[in-house]
Structure 1
């Protein structure tokens, strides 16, 4: 299927995206940290138009380096850029799919686009809890300084994480997750930059709840039963807060779900044409 890479801009910010197909069913996709827009190629079908966004600091989406520490990316930036994208692509309404960190972007911008959203499927989404350690640590100057140090000395972070795992303070899978990033210096640096630059993207559970109450949208949160990064428990807590306790769907996997045999299960959980 034909692939096109396009972009929209706002000030110094460029948001790039890929388009697959030209069908009537439009699906907007946001990938996760360290992943790519290609993750959603498995959704391709003759009747669909897939718009897969490159998250900032991934692919071709860029902004001025100073935004990593100040003048941070906000929901307002994301909303204005998405409005430009939808206008450029002549999109009236669409389905929304997001994975991991892409979920933080989606939940932050969703209230502004809800009247145009037919369905929303969040796969192991970040952004469900603004009070967890990940979100809290983003906002502390000293933790940002510490993580910057670990970008330069990843072996120090791995040594500490192994000790914490041995003492059963963190799960061993967290060590594997950290090892995945620290083993690749470029990937680890990107993870640090996104962690710092996106800390003002803070979805409001109350706004999400009110928006879902107001609009008739097919909504699901899909989480791996063995996911130690975005756990089923965190998803249940989030869904209870937004009065969507029946929206949870679990699959028997971990956090890394973009594999052929798992993609088939995801497709079964996302029947887009049923809502057109």
Structure 2
């Protein structure tokens, strides 16, 4: 199996999905990265007991997207085709930040084939007020597009919210870095709006995890202000068995430190 992690491609309908393979362990692990990253961030997992299939999410890395709006069923059908093409029956999932949302939606469809679910500061469990405001309606999406085109307005209101104690300063700094260039602003708009249907149903997810012998492991950062540790609570309170590891780091080093634990 490929240990270098060179980019490979898998065609699905109108899209070309890029992925890398790391390691040659006996267990298949499908890995989904965070916003603005690509599958290469999972290279630290190459030395683990997994064979890692690190997929570039839509609009990220070298993946080419053929359709505008990604639905949950589209995503599940793609993974089903990917598993069949690679002759993978049983496997595990790992998702970091945005990738956690993609991993969770797969639990709904593939829990019976899962050995482990590893979630690193996962998005998709606690819903953000700002995300709902910007994506749930056509008017909200139009306003979001307008604000991204008039960045000083966003900066003004963002810093006002920080001063009022309604927005964490670290989150504001993360937003400024993520929106620094026109290309980054386009990526933010695409991922926020086009991924709005990739929303795990926590009732279905928890029911499937209880009904199937899946080892569920959460990893959070003690100093993470982007996806704080308490964001996992809406799911963990529904589960009977799970593990939580709190690492002494912020958001960005989590994958590297998790690789030492798995």
TM-score by length of 2: 0.91
Match of 1:188 in 2: 185
After superposition, the Cα gap between the structure-2 partners of 1:178 and 1:91, relative to the gap in structure 1 and judged at 3 Å, is: same
Q: Distance in 1 between matches of 2:158 and 2:135?
A: 18
Match of 2:101 in 1: 104
Is 77-86 or 147-156 further displaced after alignment?
A: 147-156
Match of 1:36 in 2: 38
What secondary structure sits across from 2:7 in the alignment? strand
Select 1:224's aligned residue among 221, 225, 248. 221
Q: Distance in 2 between matches of 1:206 and 1:257?
A: 30
Match of 1:63 in 2: 65
Match of 1:247 in 2: 243
Select 1:25's aligned residue among 16, 19, 27. 27
Q: Distance in 2 between matches of 1:162 and 1:191?
A: 19
Q: Distance in 1 between matches of 2:94 and 2:200?
A: 16
* Structure 1 residue runs without a partner (length 5+): 271-276
Q: Distance in 2 between matches of 1:202 and 1:246?
A: 21
Q: Distance in 1 between matches of 2:146 and 2:133?
A: 18
What secondary structure sits across from 1:49 in the alignment? strand
Instruction: Count matched residues.
Output: 260
Match of 1:274 in 2: none
Q: Distance in 1 between matches of 2:250 and 2:99?
A: 17
Match of 1:173 in 2: 170
Conserved 8 A contact 2:210-2:240: no
Q: Distance in 1 between matches of 2:158 and 2:127?
A: 23
Conserved 8 A contact 2:5-2:43: no
Q: Distance in 2 between matches of 1:154 and 1:245?
A: 44
Q: Distance in 1 between matches of 2:8 and 2:112?
A: 25
How many Å apart are 1:173 and its aligned residue?
Answer: 1.2
* Structure 2 residue runs without a partner (length 5+): none
Moved segments of 4+, more than 6 Å: none
What secondary structure sits across from 2:65 in the alignment? coil
Conserved 8 A contact 1:29-1:96: yes
Indicate whether 1:162 and 2:154 are aligned. no
Select 2:89's aligned residue among 76, 89, 92. 92
After superposition, the Cα gap between the structure-2 partners of 1:267 and 1:23, relative to the gap in structure 1 and judged at 3 Å, is: closer
